[in-house]
Structure 1
Amino acid sequence: TELLGRGRTAVPAGLAEHFPDLTEVATYHRLRCDEKSGEPTNHARNYVRPALARRIDPEDLVRWPMTKVLRDVVGADIGRITDTVEARLADPETARLLQVPLLSPILHYTGVTYDAAGRVLDVAVINYRGDRFSFTVTLETT
């Protein structure tokens, strides 16, 4: 995993509903590659509460997913994560980063991480190569 960038930004309009009490969030942009081939597999952007971001060591994000860092390193009390996965076509930036042709199919994932009180801690937006990933969900009924 390569940390492409980090900083602070105004809360993006599309994420304002998740951070109604904030005007800015910390951002992290990472590119993950296959360990054997070196081929890019996904790129992720995380939008995190600034109070939590102050306790994140960027080197931890090279080793582990944001959820693990928040839970195990920062000590955030994660209550739930809501995942949304949809099919999309690669835009120019995504195609360049993932080394796929423009308009290639990708899996677009949004994960919203909440604390035990229901407050959003992190929103992860991840684009996966469509030719490398699939998701399986199993629901058990009782």
Structure 2
Amino acid sequence: MDYPHDQAPGAPIRSGIPEHGRIPKYYAVKAHVSALVEELGEGGMLPPERDLALRYGVSRETVRQALRELLLEGRLARQGRGTVVAGPKLEQPLSLASYTEGVRRQGRTPGRHLIGLERFPCPEALAAEIGAERGEPVWHLERVLLADDDRVGLESTYVSVARMPDLAGEFDPDSSFYAYLHDRLGISFGDADERIETVLATPREALLIGTPPALPMLLIHRVSRDAGGQPLERVRTLFRGDRFSFTAHLSGRG
């Protein structure tokens, strides 16, 4: 088959293609389809697999492998029985800004769907992170994150019941938790520690988010403190790897 410009065997490294040896057929197909994606633009419908296989002179399984990678990367999306060019990924800032702020900044409508709000005795591993004693009651708030009504993530928040005893009655689970803390309780954030890793969702998590279990996820662990330096919350958030990218502002020391 023909290879895209400067991606033939022996060409220098480009987009992850090995510098030595032959390029796998599916990767060459992926490069061709990537160029087609740029031509079609967001929402454009790709030709059926059989047409792509004939166009590039490969098997349908080779085409499927190429499309599978582009789907996992978030460049394509399934629509009915077809495949379309996906829109740009949501950019989430690595800051103390809320999910709501980040989504609205990009002209999208944020939302949340409540899975559960429950109390349970605080385990020792969680106590120091939220400013509670072992065995004291803790709130666990679990919600699906939405963007324009599409499920894009799953968020679990843990806070001390002693610090916000009326959470169940006062808080609207469809709204921003950070806005509730600031506007209703007068709590301002001071700082937080975050850790980011890639994971595969559990079957339960995949079902709640509406994705295949094999879809890569971005997992963020956050432990936050208030403006006075007191422990406030622990948050575990799963974001769809095909729908999100993260940004951070870095500066030198002068």
TM-score normalised according to structure 2 size? 0.50
Asked if 2 retains the 8 angstrom alpha-carbon contact of 1:79 and 1:114, the reply is yes
The amino acid that maps onto 2:206 is A
How many residues are paired up?
A: 138
Q: Residues 64-97 of structure 1, C-alpha deviation per residue, up to 9 Å, x if partnerless?
A: 1x22221222111422122222111111111111
**Alpha-carbon spacing, 1:12–1:89, altered in 2? closer, same or farther (3 Å):** farther
The answer as to whether partners of 2:130 and 2:233 remain within 8 angstroms in 1 is no
Q: For the Cα contact (< 8 Å) 1:11–1:19, is it kept in 2?
A: no
Cα distance change, pair 30–21 in 1 and its aligned pair in 2 (3 A)? closer
Q: Return the letter of the residue paired with 1:32.
A: L
2: CA distance, partners of 1:17 / 1:103: 34
What is the aligned partner in structure 1 of residue 212 from structure 2?
101
Comparing 122-131 with 10-19, greater Cα deviation is found at 10-19
Aligned twin of 1:62: 174
Shift, 1:134, TM fit: 0.9
* Structure 2 CA distance for partners of 1:78 and 1:55, relative to 1, 3 Å: farther
Larger Rg: 2
Q: Report the identity percentage.
A: 28
RMSD of aligned Cα (Å): 1.9
Once residues 41 and 13 of structure 1 are traced to their aligned partners in structure 2, the CA distance between those partners, rounded to angstroms, is: 31
Higher helix share: 2
The structure in which a higher percent of residues are strand is 1
- Please name the residue that 1:138 is paired with: 249
Q: Which amino acid aligns with 1:123?
A: R
Segments of 4+ in structure 1 off by > 6 A? none
Query: How far apart in 2 are the matches of 1:138 and 1:79?
Result: 18
Ranges in structure 2 where 5+ consecutive residues have no aligned partner:
1-111
**Structure-2 residue corresponding to 1:115:** 226
Task: Give ranges in structure 1 of 5+ residues lacking alignment.
Answer: none
Cross-structure match for 2:117: 6
Hey, what does 1:34 align to over in structure 2?
147
**How many Å apart are 1:10 and its aligned residue?**
2.3
Question: 1 or 2 for the larger relative contact order (CA 8 Å, sep ≥6)?
Answer: 1
